[in-house]
Amino acid sequence: MKKFNFNEKIKIHDFLNLNKNLLLKKKINLVNIPYHVNFKSKKKIYYEREYIKRTFDVAIKIIKAGITNKFINGPINKSLFLNKEYLGITEYLSDKFKEKNIGMLIYNKKLAVSPLTTHLPIKLVSKNISKKLILDRIKLINNFYLQNFKKKPLIAVTGLNPHCESILKKNEDKIIISKAVANSKKSKFLVYGPYSADTIFLKQNRKKFDVILGMYHDQVLTPLKTLYEYDAINLTMGLPFLRVSPDHGPNEKMINKNNSNPISLIRALEFLDKV
């Protein structure tokens, strides 16, 4: 704020008591979380982890106090903060709010994707997909779109194996995914598939759908980021509030260089402003 001479134009209000009645409309209500480092006794990484945890603790208190139902966080170094206890921030927040049926939605207004499994090693993906998980995710996507976009989404589901085929006796595409899609259709969801992941993102195919549900993280995030780069946001479905973050990592090498692309953060703020 000092660098761009905003300090005279924008007024800050220290919002300490987490009381909705104490919010000031014409000021930025800011909770200041102190950051103390004693390098003689503790490593810096410990304090960084504790600082991020404290910011989340305060944000969760604000949500639970009913002050707002909108939550945005910036990019976070998950290996620094989560310490292998959680797969990602999505799972971290679901645990804090005791919500089990949650899902990640990477959203662009032209197309969104949802990975059924998130930050799992590839060799564990096939062991962690099931008909129930697919059915629950389709229902979650459908309800999220109805609630926030006032529309029933057209959902495409990818197969797990290349071309939805397998040389093994256990073909997940036939015994799990196809049956889950069929059951979803019986429940009147607008869902189709499974489609081969190497062709569903072709222009003539993807334009038919609002959401593509994939079986693992990079299966759907790689093509979406190739298509739209930073013009997408990360939404968490299934929480009792709206949670969004920019769809990229912290890229700490870019700090203070003023070269980062801000479009994902801008889209995140726009989303919270519209819903």
Question: What integer pLDDT is reported at residue 214 of this predicted model?
Answer: 98
Task: Determine the Cα–Cα distance for residues 83 and 108; give it in Å rounded to an integer.
Answer: 30
Weakest-pLDDT range from 73-82, 120-129, 222-231: 73-82
- DSSP label at residue 87: S
pLDDT tens track for 235-250: 999 999 999 999 998 8
Question: What integer pLDDT is reported at residue 37 of this predicted model?
Answer: 62
* Token code pair at residue 258: 């003023």
Question: What integer pLDDT is reported at residue 40 of this predicted model?
Answer: 58
What mean pLDDT is predicted for residues 54-71? 91
Asked if residues 156 and 213 have their Cβ atoms less than 8 Å apart, the reply is: yes
* Token code pair at residue 241: 């509030």
What mean pLDDT is predicted for residues 45-51? 79
Asked if residues 107 and 245 have their Cβ atoms less than 8 Å apart, the reply is: no
pLDDT above 90: residue 220? yes
pLDDT above 80: residue 84? no
With 0-12 / 13-18 / 19 or more C-beta atoms within 10 angstroms meaning exposed / middle / buried, residue 150 is exposed
What mean pLDDT is predicted for residues 150-168? 95
Rounded to two decimals, what is the model's pTM? 0.90
Weakest-pLDDT range from 29-38, 75-84, 144-153, 224-233: 29-38
pLDDT above 60: residue 41? no
* Token code pair at residue 217: 């993280």
- From residue 166, give the alpha-carbon distance in Å to each of 129, 149, 159, 169, 234: 16, 37, 11, 8, 32
Task: Quote the mean pLDDT of the chain.
Answer: 90
* Token code pair at residue 238: 């299934």
pLDDT tens track for 97-113: 999 999 999 999 999 99
Question: What integer pLDDT is reported at residue 5 of this predicted model?
Answer: 72
pLDDT above 80: residue 9? no
What crossing angle do the helices spanning 89-96 and 44-64 adopt, rounded to 10°?
A: 50
Question: What integer pLDDT is reported at residue 242 of this predicted model?
Answer: 96
Task: Determine the Cα–Cα distance for residues 134 and 116; give it in Å rounded to an integer.
Answer: 7
Cα 9 from chain centroid (whole Å): 33
Residue that wins the pLDDT comparison between 201 and 79? 201
Angle at CA 178, nearest 5°, toward 176 and 180? Answer: 65
